[in-house]
Amino acid sequence: MAWHADCIHSASVLQVKQEPGVTGAERLLLVLSALASRGKAMSAKDMLAATGLAQSTLYRQVAVLKRWGFVTEDAGYYAPGPISLQLALGFDVNSLLVESSREGMLQLARTSQESVGLVVAVNDQVVCLEMIESTHSLRCSFEKGRAVALKAGASAKSLLAFMHEKARGEALDRIFAGDAKGRAAIEAELEQIRARGYAVSESEVDPGVWGVSAPVFRRVARGANANASITLMAPSSRVAGRELQLADWTLRTAHAISERLQTRLQTD
């Protein structure tokens, strides 16, 4: 999550190190994931630290990705290449989730005068798919395409709380490996979030940032699964006395987007 104007920027570099058994084409995806998570050009040293690959293996993967245009190199630094940009542009144009959410997000941002993001859970990270910025000079937001760990903050907890039970259990096993006390604490908090319908946090990811996040549901054959979450974020100093109102607006927006998405899925 990033602050703008006089706020603090504390986006961290996420580790996407390989797991045992990762072979072949998955190593290519590991390199791309590292570049995507960083959000800026990376040196070979940075990529080695982020992926856990051997140097010779890393260079082989990078050579293939460069040849196909997925990665570009400039003065020893690597970044997503033009083919990656084409994929991103295609995602923006064709993503049903983003398209179905944008109108509601714009309305929520106008009504609240705060920043609104659309987030999903990917590989134990919270990834921002779309962002509507506040018009205030002092504002806070995710940067579109960036990611933070799926562990703390309203966005992460909303996604975890309303995730399919099996997927949630597996994610918590990984995130809280060796931390039984932390695992028990967050499970209790996630139960409360499910009962309330939304998650709230303050200063959990960045100091002085308040956030509320509500799930967007996509109905499937066996019921309704959380597909994403809508998150409203603001400086804590501007939220005092408005918490319940902002939470209600965010929850209503998420419900409206869920209905719109379901209608589109039925008609497309």
Average pLDDT of the residues in 194-208:
94
pLDDT in tens, 130-146: 999 998 877 676 777 77
More confident call, 32 vs 22: 32
CATH number of 95-267: 3.30.450.40
Closest Cα to residue 47, out of 28, 26, 64? 28
Residues of the chain with CATH 3.30.450.40: 95-267
More confident call, 225 vs 96: 96
Fold classification of 13-88 (topology level): Arc Repressor Mutant, subunit A (1.10.10)
* CB count in 10 Å sphere of residue 202: 16
Tell me how far apart the alpha carbons of residues 56 and 268 are, in angstroms, rounded to a whole number.
46
- The H-or-E segment that residue 148 falls in is strand 147-149
Distances (CA, A) of 167 to 164, 221, 227: 5, 17, 12
DSSP state of 143: P
Specify the pLDDT at position 217.
86
Chain-centroid distance, C-alpha 103: 19
Collapsing DSSP states into helix, strand and coil, what is residue 150?
coil
Strand partners, 7: none
pLDDT in tens, 254-263: 999 999 888 8
Specify the pLDDT at position 23.
62
Specify the pLDDT at position 7.
38
Tell me how far apart the alpha carbons of residues 200 and 95 are, in angstroms, rounded to a whole number.
27
Strand partners, 234: 210
- What percent of the chain shows pLDDT beyond 90? 50
Is the distance from CB of 149 to CB of 124 less than 8 angstroms?
Answer: yes
Whether pTM > 0.95 for this model: the answer is: no
Is the distance from CB of 4 to CB of 142 less than 8 angstroms?
Answer: no
pLDDT for residue 219 is more than 80: no
Buried b (16+ CB within 10 A) or exposed e, 134-144: beeeebbbbeb
Average pLDDT of the residues in 114-141:
86
Specify the pLDDT at position 71.
87
pLDDT for residue 69 is more than 90: no
More confident call, 88 vs 186: 186
- The H-or-E segment that residue 84 falls in is helix 82-94
Residues of the chain with CATH 1.10.10.10: 13-88
Chain-centroid distance, C-alpha 191: 21
Is the distance from CB of 215 to CB of 70 less than 8 angstroms?
Answer: no
Tell me how far apart the alpha carbons of residues 140 and 147 are, in angstroms, rounded to a whole number.
15
pLDDT in tens, 29-67: 889 888 887 767 899 999 999 888 999 999 999 999 888
